[in-house]
Amino acid sequence: MRIAFVNTLFEMAKKDKRIMLLTGDLGFSVFEKYIKELPKQYLNMGVAEQNMTGVAAGMAMEGEIPVIYSIVPFATMRNFEQIRNDICYQNLNVKIVGVGAGFSYGPYAHTHHGLEDIGILRTLANLIILCPGDPIEVALATKAMLNHVGPVYLRLGKAGEPNIHKSIPSFKIGKGILIEDGKDLTIIATSTFLQRAWEVTSSLKQKGLLVRLISMHTIKPLDAQITLESARKTPAIFTMEEHSIIGGLGSAVAEVLAENKIGIIFKRIGVPDRFSKVIGNQEYMRQENGLSIDQIVEQISSSVD
């Protein structure tokens, strides 16, 4: 995902000199080409994310298109007040990019885990939240982000995520993508858990269940239409995300179902509301939080039996 973002940003920045990349003293393993060829469109702001956010706001007021980039917690939490007051309150054209969603930085422990960002940022007016699920969606989301006038948050995995889409899908902010249709249940997934949702879908197929799989790449504004359509077509909906069970995709979908008085089986699958007491790589952290393929298949199977 990260490489798809860097490559797309580079190609668009070459065509539009207003695009400015600001980093919080990281990204040196992926931005070398960008820095070498576009030195006037890059600033290393140091480990000072609050200042970086304020500078980006000033640039936007002068007509630039600043993109601030850091690890998820540092791009969204350390500078939350500046995102709220400097960017969103003034509806400025700043792009916030957080890398390392979920447990991508597993061995670095909770300070580097990106588990609360969606829930926090959903509260901010004017902010669009994009959580693409594979490199193909990342490239499309990056283009959509830079073409949109206004604040956008883009959530990325760290590296190595595979393509789930077999071809280039139609991508529009606020519109989910139907990957596979089925009549027995719906899985709505986002961000780094689209791959896990695809794996779970394949396992459920072997159990004879026909799954409707949706990539919800935009959390705000959420695609209420495809959510309600799924509720009409299947008797159960499960959301899957590598994020706290509170405040993320599951909460957003639950709000749509509740406000439309939809009475179906519904379950949020995500990270439990707790601080993990173990440290390990991404897959180990998923296992310890009940998010392995087998654990999720068991949760879904027991809910629809």
Which residue in 8, 25, 16, 36 sits closest to 144, CA to CA? Answer: 8
Give the phi and the psi of residue 34 in degrees, each rounded to 5: -60, -50
Per-residue model confidence as pLDDT tens for the chain (305 residues): 999 999 999 999 999 999 999 999 987 789 999 999 999 999 999 999 999 999 999 999 999 999 999 999 999 999 999 999 999 999 999 999 999 999 999 999 999 999 999 999 999 999 999 999 999 999 999 999 999 999 999 999 987 889 999 999 999 999 999 999 999 999 999 999 999 999 999 999 999 999 999 999 999 999 999 999 999 999 999 999 999 999 999 999 999 999 999 999 999 999 999 998 899 999 999 999 999 999 999 999 999 87
CA distances for 135 relative to 36, 142, 154, 246, angstroms:
24, 10, 13, 26
The pairing of beta strand 128-130 with beta strand 177-180:
unpaired
CA distances for 88 relative to 62, 79, 156, angstroms:
16, 12, 21
Separation CA 271–CA 248 (nearest Å): 10
Which residue in 168, 121, 173 sits closest to 145, CA to CA? Answer: 173
Q: Is 63 exposed, middle or buried (0-12, 13-18, 19+ CB in 10 A)?
A: exposed
Task: Read off the pTM.
Answer: 0.97
Q: Is 99 exposed, middle or buried (0-12, 13-18, 19+ CB in 10 A)?
A: buried
Separation CA 113–CA 277 (nearest Å): 13
Question: Taking a C-beta distance cutoff of 8 angstroms, is the pair 44, 32 a contact?
Answer: no
Separation CA 176–CA 102 (nearest Å): 20
